[in-house]
Structure 1
Amino acid sequence: MFVLGLETSCDETAAAVVTEDRRILANKVLSQLDEHRPFGGVVPEIAARSHLDHIGDLVEQAMSEAGLEFAQLDGVAATGGPGLIGGVFVGVMTAKAIAAAHKIPFLAVNHLEGHALTARLSEGDAAAFPYLLLLVSGGHCQLLAVEGVGRYIRLGGTIDDAVGEAFDKTAKMLGLPYPGGPALEQAARAGDAKSVELPRPMRGRPGCDFSFSGLKTAVRHRIEAMLEGRDDLEESQVADLAASFQRAVGDVLADRCTHAMERFAQTYGRPGPLVVAGGVAANQALRDRLSELAQAQGTELLAPPIALCTDNAAMIAWAGMERLQLGLTDPLTFAPRPRWPLDQLKGVA
């Protein structure tokens, strides 16, 4: 079986083709970083226009690289939400047109489910259901029990900012370039992670919820104290703050995941595996911290390759494949959604 996937929920335009035996035949991603960099963040109108300008070429490239004709596809999947609604519309309408023209099933994929199931594409049977998922990205920070396709039980989430947003805003305060998350990780490599005392919000409290706004505020106060009338921080100060912030985030994630693993074990008889997904999962320091935690809890960390952590269409195609195999297709009347919680999806009991 072959499924074409389209991803247009934010600032990457992507098209990919995957098979039912987990082969990625093509995975084309066009970043819009240069278009948004002057604004220091994603501009929705610019993103939607860029998707519209490039989606056709990317689909053509993906199909050519996969060596397939549209008639050979068993389905076409597109991110149906959540995301910037203008971009989501572009992907959904393109997929609907392909489905209608070639009389193949259309699959509206929840972007978060794409991330949630990526480990099953990259890790195979190691990511058998059920597993514990830490979903961390620019807009989301959640812990979920994944019981099956479309079957998610939310254990906890952020009460304010997502962890990726905290990375980006902290990077901006430090004067690091856009995109902030990767820039902060790079700066942290030269810093002393124990040099700046920062809080660990929610650590030690019951439950599995997160909070990062207080950590951002603490970084701002440290920056103000370090400046002492100067306009800019020294390079070593930026590195130390970046490393200290990243370490604090790792400690918070580990603490919250520990609670979630305990709850997961009570329900399913084992603590994991622990799967980490989403753009922030590309951060190697955080992956190492979570791997240590998983080993200490007697389980393992499953993390997709870096290229499959950030937004891509292979994950959308694979989620579409999983849904197609269960008969969970969608009508061409499906309406794109700016918000679409994972625990509101339809699954198979």
Structure 2
Amino acid sequence: MQIHPHQTTDINVETFGPLPSPAGLCTEIPASDANEEFIRQSRENIHQIIFGNDSRHLAIVGPCSIHDTEAGLEYAEKLAGLAEEVKDQIHIVMRVYFEKPRTTVGWKGLIMDPRLDGSCNLPEGLRKARKFLLSVLSTGLPTATEFLDPITPQFIADLISWAAIGARTTESQTHRQMASGLSMPIGFKNTTAGAVQPAVNAIKAASERQTFLGIDPEGHACSVTTKGNPNCHVILRGGSSGENYSAEHVSAARAALEKASLPPAILVDCSHANSSKKPERQPDVFRNIIEQRLNGESAIIGSMIESNLKEGNQSFPRPLSDLERGVSITDGCIGWETTAETLRRAADRLSKLS
């Protein structure tokens, strides 16, 4: 649809492009009955971890973002094998991130730019994301993502077991309202400055009934009314003020949650400011969190690790033929061998709690 030259609205919009309806895409690329039961059970497992009825450590592990689905599936197959090894102590959910918030500009993720060439074919991106999620589920792994655009969940949320609201959007009313209607457990990150109270406030808002503008499964603009999402928790990711994963920081976050009459459930992001954006520091942060659990800090329910087939990251954009397979094009990650060693050692340590 072209924009008419003589008008007072949409004057900076070049085109409008049609999208499939959420219902149409979910019918085109459907979840099986087995997929639906697996997702239901994995969400229940995470619910039990949040509320303290399952003592396992929740580990959200995987690439910073998915840009190469073949390499991503190879990673998923490896992670599925490891998840089976450590399942008695650690419940692994794979990071499958398709939307990337940018500080200024940059590649915005597989949904927005699936060809990595600036063509921004959103229908193709949504289809590619949905197919990849089903591929990961076929390995026996639950999936985790960050929801950035409030329309995206209608297309893929039925295949997600856990989701995050990011540091840039935790204070956004739009995202709090969206989270109130989502069907999976949600983690709210502290702000980029490091403040935890906005995440606590976000949980309060998301747990309440909300009415807001949205789209229905047929893609029509509508008024959405929710009953609130009771399965929310805080994510500590550090901030411009520094790291916030120490026992002192965890205790302060627990106190803030308890003061707000919320479940004292905290997941620690081992990346971002908590590792000073140095991926090689993530295992140290993870070990610190495991030791806090062993020392009796029951508020810690889990951790997040950014991990890929190979360590580090590579600059992008660049010619696709120049990209190294299995290396992140967004934040730096730890490699597979380090990931497996870190999780196996943690499972061994946590077995002491049994």
Fold similarity call, TM over 0.5 = no
Q: Give TM-score scaled by structure 1 length.
A: 0.30
